[in-house]
Amino acid sequence: MRTSNEAQSRAASAKDPPLLSVRNLSTEFELRRWVFGRAGLVRAVDGVSFELRRGEAVAVVGESGCGKSSLAKTILGLYRPASGEVVFEGKNVASFGRREMRWYRAQVGYVQQDPYGALPPFMTVRRILEEPLIVNRAGNKRERERRIHEVLEEVRLTPVADILPKFPHMLSGGQQQRVVIARAMILRPKLLVADEPVSMLDASVRVQILELMRGLQQAHRLGLVYITHDLSSVRHFCERIFVMYAGKLIEKAKVDELIDGPLHPYTRALLAAIPDPDPANASILKPVPPGEPPSLLAPPPACRFHPRCPEFMKDLCDVKAPADFAPEPDHSVLCWLYDEGLRRAP
Amino acid sequence: MTAGTLLTVDNLRLHFGTTKGTVRAVDGVSFAMARSEALVVLGESGSGKSSLARALLRLLPRNVKAYSGKIALDGVDTMKMDDERFRREVRWVKISLVPQAAMNALNPVIRVGDQVVEPLLVRRAAEREAAWQRAREMLQRLGLPADFLRRYPFELSGGMRQRAALAMALITRPELVVLDEPTSALDVLTQANIMNVLKQIRRESTTTFILITHDVATSSELADRVGVMYAGQIVELADAARFFREPLHPYSQKLMASVPRLRARQKLEFIRGEPPSLIDPAPGCRFAPRCPLRFERCDEDPPLFEHGGRHVRCWLYEKER
């Protein structure tokens, strides 16, 4: 196995064409009344754009209801985009027919949040891992068996022979999540989409699972989209962070830049609210922006954060949606504070 | 009983009978708390921390196999009371509980206000009008508009419902409030908000808090003292300032090292092996199978040793060493 340094030097070189391009992507859901009529339109993902290269891990961080899982599922092809496109290796996913979709599903591994819910309870681990190989007609019985062994060793579920005949309920939460990861890896994908992969696990197991995923991602030069609400775990496992608020990616930057120098007022508030274990926390009240994250059914006009924002500028933030400004290279932010023209004005 | 002691728990046990054996969820827990103190009970899932909350409030399921020990509140042993007296004099009068996922524990078809005043009305502790007045004041203190009392739970966000559940627990002005994972299902900002509210209440009153959580970082927001639970036992009990700087028990040390920090780049560790089973645990230290510092002595059950004012259930801190 390659060491992480070698893997990193091979990772994400700018010359590579992007593995995944998400272009101005929006995903909508129609809320229906009982029989007839529409109750409204929920725009869960709203004009999201980013590129991901092979060997690169990005985290999409946001609070519940911000649309991060909808973004993951749209990338996976489970939801149809309302507009915009998901482009994988230069091909638009929306244009895929049945066969291409099967190919795409083999290229993209999905690690779900709740491992117990994601594993069929009546199948053994062997059967769970063999299924994708059969569906994709990958090899004969012997080759399939060899691949299953290989993958289980990679996710460190050993001795393999003991694990194979087990049903999901016979495994611990951490082991179940390893099976989910093994299933995501079994067809040798190029991209992993992990939606809150450790939020159901205990603290002492979380790090193990995150390190395992990071190891696999680097060893196989995978692209990784890591969806999470837990910013403190991100620094160790990703290159870039995208902060999502009310369907939009409001800030995109390299991990250290974002954590050490957040630009968007929402990102700043979020970072300030996250505690590190420190007894000094008990004696201070934290500044928290007022209000709640907006409903995606009727989000505030223009900047979605303006009703809660401490930097709110009247007749601008509530009238005109901010553009994507890039005050530093590779650091973009959806906020009028970073409009050069505006700052030069008196 | 020393002056200012509110609660003394001594050798508390709560075992459940299952088809697979006896689950020793709380297995000999002892601690004492001073009035207006905040104790954090820190433990991973299956450590018995929620069962400890149930044991303190005597909210027991049907399959209880053993329930013993001493819970002295203001010097009165509540374990000696019959259920009726406990209900009338202790539960929700002296001790109340904010249950786990409290925001989903509200009755969906009853207005928030009727649920908040219920503890007062059931015990005839206040007239209807006075109870509603107190509910309005309580909501205000928790930073919710008073007209929320007329709403139904589904009209409120998770954080607002959590605060309503907190109002339900506080309205009888109990001396001790047990919070079981009060923020675990909430978003970061809402979580910070609830913690602010709790800190504010602590500044303004003498209410004593037991906060049960698996979240090390959040626990530091409220703790005067920390008790670490592992496999039904308290393995370390120390004041917060020293605990967070220098945990003593090998389990506490490993747990702290596994917590990712936002503002530091440390090497993260994890704990090898599987979490322990509470069913008929093997004799000896319960952490021994996963402990990097295990030695011969660990085959025996360690008592809680005192070490510079802290308590540790680990043979490394035996006096002779």
Q: What is the pLDDT of residue A343?
A: 61
Give the B window 159-218 contacts with A, CB below 8 Å.
159-160, 187-193, 195-196, 199-200, 214-218
DSSP per residue, A74-101: HHTTSS--SEEEEEETTEEGGG--HHHH
Report pLDDT digits (tens) over B103-117. 778 899 999 999 999
Q: What is the pLDDT of residue A2?
A: 41
CB contact under 8 A, B260 and A235: yes
Is residue B157 scored above 90 in pLDDT? no
Please report which confidence band the pLDDT of residue B242 belongs to, taking 50, 70 and 90 as the band edges. very high
Tell me how far the alpha carbon of residue A288 is from its chain's centroid. Answer: 25
Is residue A221 scored above 60 in pLDDT? yes
Is residue A228 scored above 90 in pLDDT? yes
Taking the C-alpha atoms of residue A108 and residue A128, their distance in angstroms, rounded to an integer, is 17
Closest residue in A to B186 (Cα–Cα): A64
Interface probe with A: pick from B104, B225, B261, most Cβ of A within 10 Å: B261
Q: What is the pLDDT of residue A8?
A: 45
Is residue B96 scored above 70 in pLDDT? yes
Q: Which two tokens stand for residue B194?
A: 């609830």
Which range among A19-33, B50-64, B256-270 shows the weakest confidence by mean pLDDT? B256-270
Please report which confidence band the pLDDT of residue B3 belongs to, taking 50, 70 and 90 as the band edges. low
Chain B residues whose CB is inside 8 A of the A274 CB are 188, 217, 262
DSSP per residue, A252-316: EEEHHHHHHS--SHHHHHHHHHPPPS-GGGGG-PPP--SS-PPPSSSPPSSSTTGGG-TT--TTT
Mean confidence (pLDDT) of chain B? 91
Q: What is the pLDDT of residue A172?
A: 87
What phi and psi, each to the nearest 5 degrees, are found at residue A34?
-50, -55
Nearest-by-Cβ selection for A282 from B192, B240, B245: B240
Is residue A9 scored above 50 in pLDDT? no
What's the gap in Å between the CA of A286 and the closest CA on chain B? 7
Q: How many CB atoms lie within 10 A of CB A99?
A: 8
SS3 content of chain B, % helix, strand, coil (to 5): 35, 25, 40
- Does an H or E element contain B29, and which? strand B21-34
CB contact under 8 A, A274 and B217: yes
Q: Which of B67, B149, B70, B152 is nearest to B106 (CA)?
A: B152
Chain A residues whose CB is inside 8 A of the B221 CB are 275, 281-282
Which range among A36-40, A167-171, A210-214, A266-270 shows the weakest confidence by mean pLDDT? A36-40
Decide: helix, strand or coil at residue B198: helix
CA distances from B242 to A89, B41, B321 (A): 53, 15, 22
Question: With contact defined as beta carbons under 8 Å apart, do A206 and A40 qualify?
Answer: no
Give the B window 256-315 contacts with A, CB below 8 Å.
256, 258-265, 268-271, 274-275
Closest residue in B to A270 (Cα–Cα): B189
What's the gap in Å between the CA of B7 and the closest CA on chain A? 22
Q: Which two tokens stand for residue B124?
A: 């005839």
Interface probe with B: pick from A204, A245, A292, most Cβ of B within 10 Å: A204
- Does an H or E element contain A56, and which? none
Helices (H), chain A: 4-10, 68-75, 98-107, 115-118, 125-135, 141-154, 160-163, 173-185, 203-219, 255-260, 265-273, 340-344
Question: A14 at the B interface (CB within 8 A)?
Answer: no
Is residue B1 scored above 50 in pLDDT? no
Chain B residues whose CB is inside 8 A of the A269 CB are 189
For chain A, first and last CA: distance in Å?
A: 58
Question: A270 at the B interface (CB within 8 A)?
Answer: yes
Summarize the confidence of residues B34-51 as an average pLDDT: 93
CB contact under 8 A, B259 and A203: yes
Nearest-by-Cβ selection for A208 from B157, B158, B270: B270
Is residue A24 scored above 50 in pLDDT? yes
Taking the C-alpha atoms of residue B286 and residue A16, their distance in angstroms, rounded to an integer, is 52
Chain A residues whose CB is inside 8 A of the B268 CB are 207, 211, 236
% chain B with pLDDT above 90: 68
CB contact under 8 A, A205 and B220: no
Is residue A123 scored above 50 in pLDDT? yes
Nearest-by-Cβ selection for A63 from B188, B195, B224: B188
Interface probe with B: pick from A68, A116, A278, most Cβ of B within 10 Å: A278
Please report which confidence band the pLDDT of residue B188 belongs to, taking 50, 70 and 90 as the band edges. confident
For chain B, first and last CA: distance in Å?
A: 32
Using the Cα atoms of residue A45, residue A50, residue A51 and residue A52 in order, give the sign of their dihedral.
negative
Q: What is the pLDDT of residue A232?
A: 86
What's the gap in Å between the CA of A229 and the closest CA on chain B? 8
Report pLDDT digits (tens) over A283-339. 889 889 888 888 888 899 999 999 999 999 999 999 999 999 999 889 999 999 999
What's the gap in Å between the CA of B261 and the closest CA on chain A? 5
Question: With contact defined as beta carbons under 8 Å apart, do A62 and A234 qualify?
Answer: no
Cβ partners under 8 Å of residue B176, min gap 6: B6, B7, B33, B73, B94, B95, B96, B207, B208, B209, B210
Question: A169 at the B interface (CB within 8 A)?
Answer: no
Question: B246 at the A interface (CB within 8 A)?
Answer: no
Using CA atoms in the order A150, A155, A159, A160, what is the torsion angle rounded to 10 degrees?
A: -50
Question: A341 at the B interface (CB within 8 A)?
Answer: no
Summarize the confidence of residues A268-288 as an average pLDDT: 90
Report pLDDT digits (tens) over A28-82. 998 877 666 667 889 999 999 999 999 999 999 998 889 999 999 999 999 999 9
Of residues B257 and A204, more confidence is placed in B257
Which range among A28-37, A122-131, A212-221, B172-181 shows the weakest confidence by mean pLDDT? A28-37
CB contact under 8 A, A288 and B256: no
